[in-house]
Amino acid sequence: MYDPVRFAQEVADEVRLEGYFAVGNTLIVSEVTREAIVGAVSTISEEELGSFVQNPR
């Protein structure tokens, strides 16, 4: 559980360290560019796609 300020700090830290922040069906990138989005999605698909995307059925 996070308050809004702490959540923003966690997001900022993760984006700074990893270049993106992802949780559930939420993806926050350092900037909204094709390069940042493709990079984040590529990394997620290699690392943990199953836990990131909910079953569409």
CA distance 33 to 47: 21
Tens-place pLDDT, residues 1-33: 568 888 899 999 999 999 999 887 777 788 888
Q: How confident is the model at residue 51 (pLDDT cuts 50, 70, 90)?
A: low
Domain segments of the chain as ranges: 4-52
Residue 15 structure tokens: 């984006």
- Counting Cβ atoms within 10 Å, is residue 49 exposed (0-12), middle (13-18) or buried (19+)? exposed
Examine the pLDDT at 54 and tell me if it is beyond 90: no
